[in-house]
Amino acid sequence: MSTSTSLVTGVDFTILPTKDFDRAVDFYENVLGLEKSKQWGDMPGQEFEAGNLTIAVVQMDVFGQEFSPHKSPIAFRVDDVAAAREELESRGVTFRGDIIDSGVCHQAIFEDPDGNVLDIHHRYA
């Protein structure tokens, strides 16, 4: 195989760590409204579908890993950042500051209950 041919054909999933599995599942299912898909057997790992990306919420200590929250945001695409923010605030989400206008997108940053940084995002340019 040549070096110009990529071995990677896509991204299957990303993991968001949690210390409290049940609380995290409740947040991603009932606050963000993501669709639950695969449960990792009897283990505390639950996958959620977010459009083109699967998010696995995993209680890290059960898998022999140390918990550390994800500090770079995962940007969830929404049609209207202001409307999505208002709805999430009504569900108890607290945002970090105002809506950001980068010149190409609107976004608003928040955290899940474990401190994983998340973002609602809409590219307008």
Concatenating the DSSP letter of every residue in 104-124 gives SEEEEEEE-TT--EEEEEEE-
Residue 19 buriedness (CB in 10 A; 0-12 / 13-18 / 19+): middle
> Residue 44 falls within a domain, yes or no?
yes
Number of domains in the chain: 1
CA nearest neighbour of 75 among 124, 119, 13, 107:
119
- Where residue 5 falls among pLDDT bands split at 50, 70, 90? confident
Q: Is 110 among the domain residues?
A: yes
Residue 107 counted as domain residue = yes
Residue 4 lies in a domain: no
Q: What is the CATH number of the domain that holds 18?
A: 3.10.180.10
Interval 6-23: pLDDT, tens: 899 888 999 999 999 999
Instruction: Indicate whether this model's pTM tops 0.95.
Output: no
**Does 84 map to a domain?**
yes
Residue 3 domain-assigned?
no
Q: What is the pLDDT of residues 45-103, one digit of tens each?
A: 999 999 999 999 999 999 999 999 999 999 999 999 999 999 999 999 999 999 999 99
Query: Alpha-carbon distance 120 to 106, whole Å?
Result: 8
